[in-house]
Amino acid sequence: MIESVLSSKYQLVIPKQVRKQLDLKSNQKIEFLVKDRMITLIPERPLKEMRGYLKKMNTKGFRSHKERV
């Protein structure tokens, strides 16, 4: 598990290993999702970067033809 310490100014440093793994850049916005005393950090990505993201997704078995509008 990778740890970081919250500073006296409530700042948190994202460790280099995590930044590399997620390809985070400086000044990139990160969203905070709080649920049941747990924080999830979600890096925002440009819309152009998301193009084709779901291309390989298998959509079989999600809905039947009757459910479609």
Confidence band of 52 (pLDDT split at 50, 70, 90): confident
Measured CA to CA, the distance from residue 3 to residue 14 in angstroms comes to 9
Amino acid 48: pLDDT: 80
What's the mean pLDDT in 9-32?
Answer: 93
Pick among 3.40.50, 1.10.10, 2.10.260, 3.30.420: CATH of 1-46: 2.10.260
Stated pTM of the model = 0.60
**Is the pLDDT at 62 greater than 80, yes or no?**
no
Q: What's the mean pLDDT in 37-42?
A: 93
Higher pLDDT, 45 or 17: 17
Instruction: Quote the tokens at residue 25.
Output: 């850049």
Which sequence spans correspond to the domains of the chain?
1-46
Overall average pLDDT of the 24-53 stretch = 88
